[in-house]
Structures are given as structure tokens and as C-alpha cells.
Amino acid sequence: MPKLKEPAKPFEDLVRLLKAYDIGSYRKLADVIFTSDYTAGSRMRNPGDFTLDELAMICKNGHVPAEKIREAIKFS
């Protein structure tokens, strides 16, 4: 039986975007969204768990344009 291509994860590009803006480490993300390293690590492993407030803080404090975040999140 042929192998099927694994479907893309909807928030995979969001993690790449954060790394491109130098917010890819747990510590830096925690500083940007004002939370613990543990919570930041959880968000990086499961980016679908970001709240709207956290995404807004990434835009404001991390200097990431909202349009870029909007483009990075894919809905099926």
C-alpha cells in the first residue's frame, strides 16, 4: 500500500514565524507573553492553544505584524 502524505499541521507555520522573529525559545516567548517557561513551552509544542490575548501580545511585544500571524495560521 502506498504511503500517504501526512497532512500539514494548521499551526506549523506559526512556530516557524516565531522562530524567524527570534521568539523561538521558551524563555523569549515567556518574556513576550508574560507567562512561565512551562506555559510557553506548552504553547510552542501545541500552538493551537495560544489565546487571542497571547497572540496580541506577540504582535505588540514581539513586534510581529498581525498580518504575518494571520497568514501563518491555516484553517481547513
Q: Which three cell numbers stand for residue 51?
A: 489565546
Give this prediction's pTM. Answer: 0.82
> Which pLDDT band holds residue 8 (cuts at 50, 70, 90)?
low
Contacts of 28 (CB under 8 A, 6+ apart): 22
Lowest model confidence (mean pLDDT) among 8-12, 20-24, 28-32: 8-12
What is the model's pLDDT at position 40?
94
Q: Is 43 exposed, middle or buried (0-12, 13-18, 19+ CB in 10 A)?
A: buried
Per-residue pLDDT tens over the stretch 34-65: 999 999 999 999 998 999 999 999 999 999 99
Residue 32, pLDDT > 90, answer yes
